[in-house]
């Protein structure tokens, strides 16, 4: 059996409900390889009833699970991290098959994603409260942290493992049970993770996995069920808004990790070698299909042309192909819709006067490949300055002053991450303060780190994943007023 066939054979393909792997009442749904457009495997397709059974299991398990010693919860996460680390090559292959990115990129996600389990293994034993004397001296204030209860976790296709571990890690550490629904395009990494967590000793019913081709009708009854206590969603802003409307009906607690439109600002004192390296990471990580992807490059007028040319050189040198092949840097986009959307945005910009320095077209199929593209002199009214591109396209725009750069960077409804390159420390801090974003990459093209609070403001959502803040999303604060 080939390595590909072996990993596909090994991965669970059913729903995980109350510790049992079961079939979906709607039959199965196909998982496609975006590099070949062929079906890799079929996985269970859940009905609303199946999803409700998953919530029943989470609800039934909650009480017992939350009384498990924190050390035990932490050690389960630690053992899962160890197994993922040992099986990194095999899990990277699985991820590349379903999502498309190169094996090196999948391996990087396996490391990044599994680190959330290690980080929250360490946080599980640090959940504490406080005891204080009331200001008037007449009473005592006791504050305790308790798990929020059963959670619904919904994740996107672009980081099939890490978007799950960022939620599962803190939920397990806090003592919450959960139902997780991965995106229909990439359910395999999550199913593999669920098996690993079971191997690590996670009790039946704590983590339930629902895969479905009809996310809307299968998730809505859960969101509206009064037994559910928390929804954590990562995905697009329009879907996030829809879910918030559903959650508002009974004031369900929510965390929203939504879309982005990251500016990458290069000041005239920046080191251009560093800038181009950082730009390649910020733009091309995950084939540009990242919420943190640099969506527009605002470059000081004196450097803009040279930057565009040097970036184009680097982009041109990238090898496109199926992510499993040796030497491939850039895999396909996730599907035909995504590729058409990227093409429309490029056509719109070029039609309005942008100059295509490199790329600008899809690559012959099979597979949803799109050429790495650099567009220079992009006009203000180009749609790709306003919309999330989610593809390997870098629009470059020149600016004249710091004020103009900040105003352009903030001119968006999104607020996830911004990147700034400058060697002037005062400017670095001044600009970081002025940027209306949840995160800033200062002289670096990547901000993601399990030990840091990841998250956005404005239409990029609210709530934080990772860092000390990440576990707070899964804890309630209870205050006890004590009369001595």
Q: Which of 235, 263, 445, 466 binds ligand NAP (CB under 6 A)?
A: 235
Is residue 151 part of the annotated active site? The answer reads no
Q: How far apart are CA 294 and CA 287, in angstroms?
A: 11
Residue 260-299 contact track with ligand NAP, rule CB under 6 A, x = bound: x------------------------------x--------
Instruction: List the interface residues with ligand NAP, window 316-345 (CB under 6 A).
Output: none
Q: Helix 188-199 vs helix 162-174: angle between axes, to the nearest 10 degrees?
A: 30
- Considering only 45, 56, 98, 257, the residue that binds ligand NAP (CB under 6 A) is 257
Q: Are 278 and 243 in contact (CB under 8 A)?
A: no
Contacts of 308 (CB under 8 A, 6+ apart): 299, 357, 374, 376, 396
The interface mask with ligand NAP, positions 377-416, x = CB under 6 A, is -----------x---------------------------x
Residue 45 binds ligand NAP, judged by CB under 6 A? no
If one asks whether residue 160 binds ligand NAP (CB under 6 A), the answer comes out as no
Enter the tokens of residue 242.
């829809």
Contact 453, 436 (CB under 8 A): no
DSSP state of 319: P
User: Could you tell me how far CA 201 lies from the centroid of its own chain?
Assistant: 26
CA 162, 164, 167, 169 torsion-angle sign: negative
In the shown chain, the binding pattern of residues 420 to 459 toward ligand NAP, with x for contact by CB under 6 A and - for none, equals ------------------------------------x---
Cis-peptide into 366, omega within 30 deg: yes
Please, which residue, 293 or 382, has the CB nearer to ligand NAP? 293
Cα 179 to Cα 16: distance, rounded to the nearest angstrom: 9
Task: Round to whole Å and give the CA distance between 67 and 73.
Answer: 10
In the complex, the smallest distance separating the C-beta of residue 269 from ligand NAP, rounded to whole angstroms, is 31
Q: Which of 179, 219, 222, 475 binds ligand NAP (CB under 6 A)?
A: 219
- Among residue numbers 296 through 315, which ones bind ligand NAP (CB under 6 A)? none
* Nearer Cβ to ligand NAP (54/275): 54
The site for ligand NAP, by CB under 6 A, has a size of 28
Query: Which of 204, 97, 117 has its CA nearest to residue 160?
Result: 97
- Minimal distance in Å, beta carbon 258 to ligand NAP? 5
The two structure tokens encoding residue 162: 């890490």
> Rounded CA gap, 399 and 302, in Å?
9
Is 257 a known active-site residue? yes
Nearer to ligand NAP, 119 or 157 (CB): 157
Contact residues toward ligand NAP (CB under 6 A) are: 154-159, 163, 181, 183-184, 215-216, 219, 234-236, 239, 242-243, 257-260, 291, 388, 416, 456, 460
């Amino acid at each position: 059996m080939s390595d590909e066939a072996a990993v596909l054979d090994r991965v669970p393909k059913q729903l995980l409900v109350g510790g049992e792997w079961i079939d979906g009442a709607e039959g199965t749904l196909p998982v496609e390889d975006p590099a070949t457009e062929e079906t890799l495997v079929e996985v269970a397709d859940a009905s609303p009833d199946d999803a409700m059974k998953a919530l029943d299991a989470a609800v039934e398990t909650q009480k017992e699970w939350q009384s498990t010693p924190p050390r035990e919860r932490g050690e389960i996460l630690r053992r899962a991290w160890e197994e993922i680390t040992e099986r990194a090559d095999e899990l990277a292959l699985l991820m590349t098959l379903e999502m498309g990115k190169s094996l090196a990129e999948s391996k990087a996600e396996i490391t990044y994603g599994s680190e959330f389990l290690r980080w929250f293994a360490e946080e599980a034993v640090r959940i504490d409260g406080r005891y204080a004397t009331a200001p008037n001296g007449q009473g005592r204030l006791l504050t305790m942290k308790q798990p929020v209860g059963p959670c619904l976790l919904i994740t996107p296709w672009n980081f099939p493992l890490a978007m799950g571990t960022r939620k599962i890690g803190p939920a397990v550490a806090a003592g919450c049970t959960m139902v997780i629904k991965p995106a229909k395009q990439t359910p395999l990494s999550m199913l593999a993770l669920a098996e690993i967590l079971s191997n690590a000793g996670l009790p039946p019913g704590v983590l339930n996995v629902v895969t479905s081709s009809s996310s809307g009708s299968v998730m809505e009854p859960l969101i509206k069920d009064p037994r559910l206590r928390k929804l954590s969603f990562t995905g697009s802003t329009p879907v996030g808004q829809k879910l918030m409307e559903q959650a508002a009906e009974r004031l369900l607690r929510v965390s929203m990790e939504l879309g982005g439109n990251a500016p990458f600002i290069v000041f005239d004192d920046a080191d251009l070698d560093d800038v181009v390296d950082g730009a390649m990471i910020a733009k091309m990580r995950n084939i540009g299909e990242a919420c943190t992807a640099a969506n527009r490059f605002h470059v000081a007028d004196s450097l803009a042309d040279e930057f565009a040319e040097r970036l184009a050189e680097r982009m041109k040198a990238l090898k496109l192909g199926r992510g499993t092949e040796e030497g491939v840097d850039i895999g396909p986009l996730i599907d035909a819709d995504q590729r058409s959307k990227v093409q429309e945005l490029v056509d719109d910009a070029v039609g309005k006067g942008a100059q295509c320095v490199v790329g600008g077209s899809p690559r012959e199929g099979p597979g949803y490949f799109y050429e790495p593209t650099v567009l220079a002199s992009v006009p203000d009214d180009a749609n790709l300055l306003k919309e999330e591109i989610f593809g390997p396209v870098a629009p470059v725009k020149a600016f004249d002053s710091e004020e103009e750069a900040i105003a352009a960077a903030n001119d968006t409804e999104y607020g996830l991450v911004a990147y700034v390159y400058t060697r002037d420390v005062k400017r670095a801090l001044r600009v970081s303060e002025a940027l209306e974003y949840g995160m800033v990459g200062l002289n670096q093209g990547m901000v993601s780190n399990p030990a840091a609070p990841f998250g956005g403001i404005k239409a990029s959502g609210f709530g934080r994943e990772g860092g000390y803040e990440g576990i707070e999303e899964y804890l309630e604060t209870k205050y006890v007023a004590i009369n001595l």
